[in-house]
Amino acid sequence: MSSELLFEFVYFIPEIVLAFWGLLVILLDVALLRGRPSETRGKILGMVSLVGAILALVSVFVPDMLSFGSATGAPETSIFFGAIFQGPVVERFSAFIIILLMFVIALSTTWNFTEHWGEYFGLLFWTAVGMIMLIAAEELVTLFLTLELMTISLYIITAFEKDLNRSSEGALKYFVYGSVSSALFLFGLSLLYGLAGTTRLSAIGAVLEPQQSVAGLGRNIAGAMSVLLILVGFGFKISAVPFHQWAPDAYEGAPAPVSAWLATGSKLASMIALTKVLIQALGAWASGDGNLASPGWVGILAVIAALTMTYGNFAALAQKNLKRMLAYSSIAHAGYMLVGVMAVAVAAGSRVAAGPILFYLVVYSVANIGAFAVAAWLFRDKKTDEIEDLNGLFAQYPFLAVCTLLLMLSLIGIPGVAGFWGKFFMFSEALTQGEDKHRLTFLWLVGLGLMNSVISAFYYVRVLRAMFLRPSTGAPLKPPTFAIRVAVIGSALVVIIFGLYPTPLTDETDRLADSRIFDSRLKHTGPAPKVALNGGLQPVASPVGK
Amino acid sequence: MHDIPLTWFLIFASACFVIGLLGVLVRRNAIAVLMAIEIMLNAANINIIAFWRYSVPGPEESPVSGPMLAIFVITIAAAEVAVGIGLILLCYRRRASADVDQYDSLSG
Amino acid sequence: MNQILFGVIATLGVLAALGTVLARNLVHAALFLVAFFFLVACQFVMLEAEFLAAVQVLVYIGAVAIILMFGIMLTRNIQGDDTTTVSKAGFISGGLAAAGLLAVLVFGILDDEGRTGRAGWRDVTTRPAVYPVAARASAEQTKAVNNMGFVVGRELLTRYLIPFEVAGVLLTAALVGAIALAVQDGPSTDDPAERAKKAAEHTAAAETEPQLTSA
């Protein structure tokens, strides 16, 4: 038993490296670098942090290198007594999150926005630990703790630009909305614990399914309340309307690298966790007799998705600040992705239905890292990040302007860049999955999504208009740092390569989606659930009650 | 002697939860909101412990799954309060107000 | 007897919660909150989770309430003022929303009829006995109820190892972050005149700061 446990720690090395590197960076800051000006401390600690992230990235692949499992990656297992899931999807997305973390670290050294560099990088590492484990969590206690580790650390680093009112203000709003929503989430979780009697996701799925005498959530108000409250919690994390109010403030207030981290890592991990919980644990409550309007969470999700994409896009139209506009755009993207989650829920027997969401998440995150790198560049030189500040960028830095153009086109979803394929695969998945009776709802949603993509073109084009058509105003931008250059050019390259030739990435995401965490037991006719019917807590009826 | 029915605990927890939510909705002072959130977290804990005590753990379950969840919730609540007070102090120093409504320079 | 005791604790608990939410004076609210925490601990005792009741008293009353008190003192909002008063209109709409939610929750709890293989919540009127004579009590459960500290300690290092470690990272992050946020950058001063000067500098800085967006 104990040697087995040691063996399992091999899968856990990236998290250990990240957590310890956070402590190391703080110790370095207070011990060796004490008294140095904060600018040099930031630069040195940034370098040290990058080394740590690279180490963690390498250690993700240690299990592969030790060649446990097959050539296609580690086999899917539950480790640490079922607390954590281990499989290709976790491994690859851990690696992806660490790569995003490297970009965030590199962008953080752009300008000197805090005196507390050690704490800043330490907290960045710990958010990454939270995100990786959130993707891996297979049990509600772990899931809730990692969710909180991620968000609590994010509240703190949002407030790190202490010289600006907007930073602490955005953080306070993020904190108030965030802690209220996690309290609601927890109450929903407690009801779910009472209904299912266990906290393991797969066991919940197995317990709920045979209990269905009425399909979906019909005649099950306690269950419906629990699902609603859990959706409030996740809706906040992925900034879905009506739980989005914090997002524009936090994104605008936070230093640009932190905004990038909020928009990419946090959203990516929460979206995967949402899909996992809904599909794997609550699959039995997806919808009533298969009709989307019948009681079940798919119907709720449809309403939230429609509201989210519409509100996000219309609100973005009115924005003048680049970061705030990107915040609303990220709200809208959450709406598109929720359509993908619905498609997974109705997909009969097909595990790979989650592939398009994973593809979309990767492409969306890459484009956003580049876009926020531009915002960081603006703020370094102009101390503001309005869209107007981009005026005349093409005249000064034609190559970077063209790269930004590609990123914006990808966010709109223009053919030829990767964002188009993201939307295309997800919407076509939504239209082809499920039975005929679903088709009409999905047609409506996809139609709304396409209309919204057209609307979104207007505000992204405003960025392009500023860069290409307007004469330069104010002080010219100084040459970007190496990190900004790499982030913008690199993400543009990714976007154009997968835009022209998406097959390698779609093959990979389809392979990763073929995992049991995206598998609703209801639709799956495999071996019988491992957990016996009497698994979980069994409320005992008193003889009097009978 | 009659035992207490499970639903009594659940209804008490729901009442506390709803009172906490009321506090979040009507209070504007950030510290008061924080206190209301604590009430909501406690309500969830009562639910969890009641469910745990009134049922028999299945063969694969931990015998203390409920208390364990509650202990971690208490941990999270402590961390959240510490961070929350830190943030409120930071904002207060800049604005001399702990009123959530006054933080409205970011809007739109 | 049990039921009467429950009724008393529950009534006091609800009153303390209402007091926390409605008290104009924040210090009074915090004291009500302490009473509420204590009454929740009493409920834990009613549920035979004495270990948890001890944790509740230690962490909530010993730490959380004290931090909240510090927060109240440091923001000098001790006496109630406009910002801590609940507006009537807000109270009515908020109260209606809360009452509606309570109605749905209570209905849902009382309506839970149980599904295949499980008793409904409304039918559960006695807790499973934990002395070994009882047919359904397992040795594990008996131990969990009678000696919770021991079982919790064992489970923390086995089944709940990962959550335990994550909780460690979480507490470290909160500690480090709270200090980094609350510490005053630059040399600190206790002199009120210096402070006023600093505040004036802040205001001046705030005026030159980029104007924030509004739609």
Contact across the interface for A116 and C116, Cβ inside 8 Å: no
At residue A21, the pLDDT reads 95
Chain B residue closest to C141 (CA)?
B63
**Which position has the higher pLDDT, A245 or B61?**
A245
Number of domains in chain B: 1
Please say whether the beta carbons of A340 and A378 come within 8 A: no
At residue C215, the pLDDT reads 36
At residue A131, the pLDDT reads 96
Chain segment A219-232, per-residue pLDDT in tens? 788 888 999 999 99
Where b means 16+ CB within 10 Å and e means fewer, C17-27 reads: bbbbbbbeebb
Residues of A in contact with B60 (CB under 8 A): 203, 531, 535
Per-residue pLDDT for A297 more than 90?
Answer: no
* % of chain C exceeding 90 in pLDDT: 45
Burial group, residue A1, by CB count within 10 angstroms (0-12, 13-18, 19+): exposed
Tokens 């609100």 locate to A315
Mean pLDDT, range C141-152, rounded to an integer: 86
| pLDDT classification of A96: cutoffs 50, 70, 90 | very high
CA distance C100 to chain A (A): 13
CATH number for the domain spanning B47: value is 1.10.287.3510
Residue B108 located in a structural domain: no
DSSP character at residue C59: I
Q: How far is CA A3 from the centre of its chain?
A: 34
> Using CA atoms, how far apart are residues A309 and A454, in angstroms rounded to an integer?
12
Angle in degrees, CA A254, A129, C67, rounded to 5? 65
| C-alpha distances out from residue A490 to A373, A400, A450, A482, A487, Å | 11, 11, 28, 11, 5
Chain C residue closest to B10 (CA)?
C109
CA distance C204 to chain A (A): 12
Contact across the interface for B58 and A535, Cβ inside 8 Å: yes
Q: Are residues A33 and A107 in the same domain?
A: yes
DSSP character at residue A295: S
Per-residue pLDDT for B67 more than 70?
Answer: yes
| C-alpha distances out from residue A176 to A158, A258, B83, Å | 13, 18, 11
Q: Are residues A128 and A176 in the same domain?
A: no
- Which two tokens mark C18? 């209402």
DSSP character at residue A542: P
> Using CA atoms, how far apart are residues C173 and A43, in angstroms rounded to an integer?
22
Mean pLDDT, range C60-71, rounded to an integer: 91
> Using CA atoms, how far apart are residues C21 and A424, in angstroms rounded to an integer?
50
**Which candidate, A59, A45, A53, A69, places its Cα nearest to that of A18?**
A53
- What is the phi/psi pair of residue A473, to 5°? -125, 155
Number of domains in chain A: 2
> Using CA atoms, how far apart are residues A229 and A192, in angstroms rounded to an integer?
10
What mean pLDDT is reported for chain A?
86
Packing angle of the helix pair C161-182, A117-136 (nearest 10 deg): 150
List, in order of start, the domains of chain C with CATH numbers: 1-79 (1.20.120.1200), 132-182 (no CATH)
Per-residue pLDDT for A396 more than 70?
Answer: yes
> What own/partner pairs with CB < 8 Å and gap ≥ 24 does C152-158 have?
C152/B64, C152/B67, C152/B68, C152/B71, C152/C51, C155/B62, C155/B63, C155/B64, C155/B68, C156/B68, C158/A81
- What is the phi/psi pair of residue A35, to 5°? 90, -15
Residue A185 located in a structural domain: yes
CA distance C137 to chain B (A): 7
At residue A287, the pLDDT reads 75
SS3 assignment, position A35: coil
Residue B107 located in a structural domain: no
**Number of Cβ atoms within 10 Å of the Cβ of A486:** 17
Domain of residue B76: give its range.
Answer: 6-55+64-102
Per-residue pLDDT for B108 more than 50?
Answer: no
| pLDDT classification of C135: cutoffs 50, 70, 90 | low
Domain boundary among A121, A138, A155: A138
Q: Are residues A118 and A204 in the same domain?
A: no
Q: Are residues A380 and A451 in the same domain?
A: yes
At residue C79, the pLDDT reads 54
Question: What number of helices (H) and strands (E) belong to chain A?
Answer: 22, 3
Contact across the interface for B86 and C86, Cβ inside 8 Å: no
- What is the phi/psi pair of residue B63, to 5°? -70, -15
**Which position has the higher pLDDT, A473 or A297?**
A297
At residue A456, the pLDDT reads 93
Amino acid at A487: A
At residue A524, the pLDDT reads 41
Q: Which of B9, B17, B61 has the most A C-beta neighbours within 10 Å, making it the best mutation to test the interface with A?
A: B61
> Using CA atoms, how far apart are residues C133 and C41, in angstroms rounded to an integer?
29
Q: Are residues A100 and A244 in the same domain?
A: no
Chain segment A25-56, per-residue pLDDT in tens? 999 999 988 888 888 999 999 999 999 999 99
- Which two tokens mark A310? 């519409």
At residue A129, the pLDDT reads 96
Residue A542 located in a structural domain: no
DSSP character at residue A539: E
Per-residue pLDDT for C190 more than 70?
Answer: no
| C-alpha distances out from residue A427 to A409, A482, C204, C206, Å | 18, 37, 51, 46
Contact across the interface for C117 and A224, Cβ inside 8 Å: no
Beta bridge partners of residue B56, listed in sequence order:
A538
Please say whether the beta carbons of C40 and B46 come within 8 A: yes
- Which two tokens mark A492? 């543009």
At residue A34, the pLDDT reads 84
What was the ipTM of the complex prediction? Answer: 0.93
Angle in degrees, CA B92, B95, B100, rounded to 5? 70
Please say whether the beta carbons of A406 and A495 come within 8 A: yes
At residue A76, the pLDDT reads 76
Q: Are residues A391 and A504 in the same domain?
A: yes
pTM of the model as a whole: 0.90
For chain B, say whether C135 makes contact (Cβ under 8 Å).
no
Q: Which bin fits B5, alpha (ψ -120 to 50), beta or left (φ > 0)?
A: beta
Q: Are residues A247 and A100 in the same domain?
A: no
Q: Are residues A455 and A488 in the same domain?
A: yes
Question: Considering just the CA atoms, what is the radius of gyration of chain A in Å?
Answer: 23
SS3 assignment, position A327: helix
* % of chain A exceeding 90 in pLDDT: 53
Please say whether the beta carbons of B25 and C113 come within 8 A: no
> Using CA atoms, how far apart are residues C87 and A274, in angstroms rounded to an integer?
37
At residue A74, the pLDDT reads 54
Least confident of A515-519, C7-11, C160-164: A515-519
Per-residue pLDDT for A400 more than 60?
Answer: yes
- Which two tokens mark A325? 């506009």
Chain segment A179-196, per-residue pLDDT in tens? 999 999 999 999 999 988
| pLDDT classification of C165: cutoffs 50, 70, 90 | very high
DSSP character at residue A291: -
At residue C184, the pLDDT reads 76
| pLDDT classification of A7: cutoffs 50, 70, 90 | confident
**Which candidate, A221, A244, A225, places its Cα nearest to that of A187?**
A225
**Which candidate, C148, B66, B65, B55, places its Cα nearest to that of A81?**
B65
Residue A366 located in a structural domain: yes
Q: Are residues A99 and A200 in the same domain?
A: no
> Using CA atoms, how far apart are residues C186 and A302, in angstroms rounded to an integer?
51
Chain segment A61-95, per-residue pLDDT in tens? 887 777 655 445 556 778 888 888 888 889 899 99
Which residues 84-103 on chain C approach chain B with CB closer than 8 angstroms?
A: 84, 86-87, 90-91, 93-95, 97-99, 101-102
Q: SS3 sequence, A459-489? A: HHHHHHHHHHCCCCCCCCCCCCCHHHHHHHH
DSSP character at residue A81: T
Chain segment A134-181, per-residue pLDDT in tens? 999 999 999 999 999 999 999 999 999 888 888 988 999 999 999 999
> Using CA atoms, how far apart are residues B35 and A443, in angstroms rounded to an integer?
45
Contact across the interface for C169 and A19, Cβ inside 8 Å: yes
Mean pLDDT, range A519-544, rounded to an integer: 45
Residue A546 located in a structural domain: no
Chain segment A10-27, per-residue pLDDT in tens? 888 999 999 999 999 999
Residue A148 located in a structural domain: no
Chain segment B30-54, per-residue pLDDT in tens? 899 999 999 999 999 999 999 999 8
> Using CA atoms, how far apart are residues C39 and B107, in angstroms rounded to an integer?
40
Q: Are residues A74 and A193 in the same domain?
A: no
Chain segment A447-503, per-residue pLDDT in tens? 999 999 999 999 999 899 989 998 887 778 888 999 999 999 999 999 999 999 999
Q: Before A242, cis peptide (omega within 30)?
A: yes
Residue A203 located in a structural domain: yes
Contact across the interface for A212 and C107, Cβ inside 8 Å: no
**Which candidate, C193, C176, B67, places its Cα nearest to that of A193?**
B67
Domain of residue A499: give its range.
Answer: 163-523
> Using CA atoms, how far apart are residues A165 and B97, in angstroms rounded to an integer?
13
At residue A192, the pLDDT reads 93
Q: Are residues A469 and A505 in the same domain?
A: yes
